[in-house]
Amino acid sequence: MKLLFTFFNPSGGMETLNRIRGQALTEAGHEVHLLYTSGGEGRKNITDLPVHILSDPAAIGQHVLAGGYDAIVVCTDIWTMEHIREAGYRGRIVFEVQGLGRIEEARAVMAEFSGHIRRHADGLLFPRTDHLVALMKQHLPDVPQFCFDNPLDTSGFGYVAYPPKPYPIVGWIGRITANKNWREFIAIGERLLAANPSIYLWMFGDATLFEPLEQEAFELWLASSPYAERLIRHSNVPHGQMADYLSLIGDSGGLLCSTSHLEGFGYAVAEAMLCRCPVLSSDSDGIRRFVQPEATGMLYPVGQVDIAVRKALELMNDRQRRERMRERGQAHIRATFSKEAYAKRFGGMLKKLMAASPRR
């Protein structure tokens, strides 16, 4: 089948998801195209799939009608879905939800827009995350629902051995936004630096995407904190190089710290585990698909900095426990989130959608 995946911009977890599942579905015999309504730094990561950058509704409509797509997966962007239907597209549309920010924001979005989704979508797609499952059942129980894990490139992305750094590194991946909760990472990092001044903090993200008020507060911290000199920012690292950085963090005796309030899936954590990088994460719902507490990683209650610091120090100082978690984490990701498993589940979804009568 010929498939189109749409989103706002090629950045972060959605860029990763679309690129990996595009590869998986291509290998399974489908033709896959990507459409974004704006450009982004993540575009350079996509080398083997057709990518269309279109923002004008008329141009989007013309493209989908000329493209001959059997099915279109629209992630989050309700207005693009409406434009596609209004242009006259009569194929199957799947509305996808990967994450809608903090829980109050997610509830508000679903309450306001469920009618639009119901009118235009033939099915719903979302990862196995409790808050998303509950929201879909509550607001759209009459629309066919498909819930399965996102894929990772378990064969092409993983641990790379390098000479270890002479200092431990505590990493963080995300945009400077309220939901990603960068302030909590800084609070944890400051406490860890007080306990071990040799630590470095590495922050990875897209410096072109941020919430202005959050960015202003972050820049104020950079200008005023005595700990700022221990922080190194890495912006728009090519995805292929992230395996190197995550492996370095793991071998340094450090860890990846995730502080999000809410995650639908959490690619940063999953890819860290694939690279044998230990993980300490806030209990942000979707993250529980990867982090089995005290087995494949560590969880702490969001907002509880004291607990986070204690667990981080335990993970950094207890070498045997740390190595067990590295091994178990890597094995869990490899066994559960392969591209092949995703392609099989996605193919099953397409089969059911094509066999059913269109919903309009």
Cα torsion at 304, 305, 307, 313 (round to 10°)? Answer: 160
For the chain, give the percent of residues with pLDDT over 90: 89
The 3-state DSSP class for residue 144 equals coil
Token readout for 254 is: 């450090």
Q: What does DSSP say about strands 31-36 and 231-235: parallel, antiparallel, or unpaired? A: unpaired
Give the whole-angstrom CA distance, residue 99 versus residue 14. 10
313/345 same-domain check: no
Q: How many helices and strands (H and E) does the chain possess?
A: 12, 13
Residue 35: give its domain's CATH number.
3.40.50.2000
Confidence (pLDDT) at 106: 84
Task: Return mean pLDDT, the chain.
Answer: 95
The total domain count for the chain is 2
Task: Indicate if 142 and 211 belong to the same structural domain.
Answer: no
For the chain, the maximum distance between any two Cα atoms, rounded to a whole number of angstroms, is 63
97 lies in some domain = yes
Is the CB of residue 224 less than 8 Å from the CB of residue 186?
Answer: no
Q: Is 282 helix (H, G, I), strand (E, B) or coil?
A: strand
pLDDT digits 0-9 by tens, 314-354: 999 999 999 999 999 999 999 999 999 999 999 999 999 99
Q: Output phi, psi for 147, to 5 deg.
A: -130, 110
Containing domain of residue 133, as a range? 2-151+338-355
Asked if residue 191 is part of any domain, the answer here is: yes
Query: Do both 332 and 351 map to the same domain?
Result: no
330 and 342, same domain (yes or no): no
Same domain? 272 vs 343: no
Same domain, yes or no: 279 and 294: yes
Residue % of the chain over a pLDDT of 70: 99
Q: Let me know if 178 is exposed, middle or buried by CB neighbors in 10 A (0-12, 13-18, 19+).
A: middle
Same-domain pairing of 180 and 218 = yes
Assigned domain for 131 exists? yes
Residue 50 has pLDDT above 90, yes or no: yes
Clarify whether residues 214 and 115 are in a common domain. no
10-39 confidence digits (pLDDT tens): 988 899 999 999 999 999 999 999 999 999
Rounded CA-CA distance 62/159 in Å is 43
Q: Please tell me whether residues 215 and 327 are part of one structural domain.
A: yes
Residues 117 and 214 in one domain: no
